[in-house]
């Protein structure tokens, strides 16, 4: 089992979506939906491998309209239908090897994401908890210093998810 470094320094984001939990979960775990919203705003996603199951991987490249092409990797740890999705994320190379973040060398190599879903009155609340894995104390501090950027980046992606959900109603 991985060593979760200083879990008290977790990045937590809570957001409500106007969609039932089953639909929300499916949009996060079915490849034909995931490719429609995953990734940074203003980037184009090109999925190389999508194997959404415990032990599976989602390997992709994304190209910014004004910049570089980068690779990303999700490795799925736990998928509990309609309740939880746990996965690690990292920047990667073309062969799925995790690599340091190109724009932030002090950022941890691997990050664990736990997405917990709750439904009330037909709306889904996502609680996203993100922690570094096997990170040095300096990387944990760097990670904590990135919370503002992480909030902006994750909300940008979740805006895309929210927009996509509205097309399915």
Q: 21-29 vs 147-167: helix axis angle to the nearest 10? A: 110
Sequence length of the chain is 169
- Is residue 11 predicted with pLDDT exceeding 90? yes
In this prediction, residue 2 has a pLDDT band, given cuts at 50, 70 and 90, of: very low
In this prediction, residue 10 has a pLDDT band, given cuts at 50, 70 and 90, of: very high
- Is residue 24 predicted with pLDDT exceeding 70? yes
CA distance linking residue 91 with residue 102, whole number of Å: 8
- Domains of the chain (ranges plus CATH)? 7-167 (3.30.530.20)
- Is residue 134 predicted with pLDDT exceeding 80? yes
Residue 128's pLDDT is: 98
Which of the pair, 9 or 93, is modelled with greater confidence? 93
CA distance linking residue 144 with residue 137, whole number of Å: 11
Residue 8's pLDDT is: 55
pLDDT, average across residues 123-152: 95
pLDDT in tens, 29-38: 999 999 999 9
pLDDT exceeding 90 applies to what percent of the chain? Answer: 85
Q: How far lies 112's CA from each of 129, 162, 163, in Å?
A: 8, 22, 25
């Amino acid at each position: 089992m991985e060593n979760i470094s200083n879990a008290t320094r977790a990045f937590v984001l809570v957001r409500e979506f106007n969609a039932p939990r089953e639909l929300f979960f499916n949009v996060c775990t079915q490849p034909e939906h995931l490719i429609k919203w995953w990734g940074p705003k203003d980037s184009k996603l090109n999925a190389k491998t999508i194997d959404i199951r415990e032990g599976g991987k989602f390997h992709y490249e994304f190209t910014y309209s004004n910049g570089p092409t980068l690779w990303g990797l999700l490795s799925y740890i736990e998928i509990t239908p309609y309740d939880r999705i746990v996965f690690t994320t990292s920047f990667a190379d073309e062969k799925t090897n995790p690599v340091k973040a190109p724009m932030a060398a002090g950022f941890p190599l691997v990050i664990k994401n736990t997405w917990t879903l709750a439904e009330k009155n037909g709306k889904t609340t996502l609680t996203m908890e993100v922690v570094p894995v096997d990170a040095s104390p300096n990387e944990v501090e760097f990670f904590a210093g990135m919370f503002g950027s992480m909030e902006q980046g994750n909300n940008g992606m979740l805006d895309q998810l929210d927009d996509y959900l509205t097309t399915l109603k």
